[in-house]
Chains A and B, each alone.
Chain A
Amino acid sequence: DVKVTQSSRYLVKRTGEKVFLECVQDMDHENMFWYRQDPGLGLRLIYFSYDVKMKEKGDIPEGYSVSREKKERFSLILESASTNQTSMYLCASSLRGAGYTIYFGEGSWLTVV
């Protein structure tokens, strides 16, 4: 079974803190993604990576950065957390190319107070 593991299910952080969300996949997938899920808005792509050390901005990259130093690991960084970043964050991975199934982790609920 494909496994995408997000390190934290629930986090509470203070405004202005630096926040790291970690994601690991065990299927040797080239692609990794970070999505944000908000009610009524569906899932919106923050960043994705198609190879080690490569990254591309998604639809809503402002306020976020990412790191991919190893193929299996993709980190999302909130440089200075704000209350409007309170959300569910979903990591995903896939083989490269259209039509391949994207596999999701269970999500990380982040609350910024």
Chain B
Amino acid sequence: GNSVTQMEGPVTLSEEAFLTINCTYTATGYPSLFWYVQYPGEGLQLLLKATKADDKGSNKGFEATYRKETTSFHLEKGSVQVSDSAVYFCALSDRAGGTSYGKLTFGQGTILTVHP
């Protein structure tokens, strides 16, 4: 079956530090990969996505590259801000068997706290 594994959290950084949140996956087919972010008290919103190998998703200074050879989709940002404090979820949507309804399989989430 499909699964997503994220690095253990929580992660605490100072403002302007470099961020990496690791994500690896197992899938039976050809997945699309996503990062979602959840700010305090809110639902999830899409941060970025990549639909095929070697694609790079980017948004709001965050980037992630779809690495099929290492089955990874690590999230990076060069300089974090206090406003980036949130929970980050890695997820995949599989296309195994040529049929997919677009269901997402999520990792467990990583809590990021950025201090001034």
Contact = CB atoms under 8 A, between A and B. Distances in A.
Given A98-B95, A99-B93, A42 B101 contact: no
A90 interface: yes
Contact of B103 (A42, A45, A103): A45
B70 interface: no
B103 A58 contact: yes
A49 to B, nearest CB: 9
A104 B4 CA distance: 19
A97 B95 CA distance: 8
- Interface bracket on A: 20 to 34
Contact of B43 (A50, A90, A97, A99): A90
B102 A99 contact: yes
Contacts of B34: 101
Interface of B: 4, 31-32, 34, 36, 42-46, 49, 51, 89, 93-95, 100-109
Interface of A: 4, 31, 33, 35, 40-45, 48, 50, 56, 58, 90, 92, 94-107
11 contacts: A35-B106, A42-B4, A42-B109, A50-B101, A58-B103, A98-B32, A99-B51, A104-B45, A105-B43, A106-B42, A107-B43
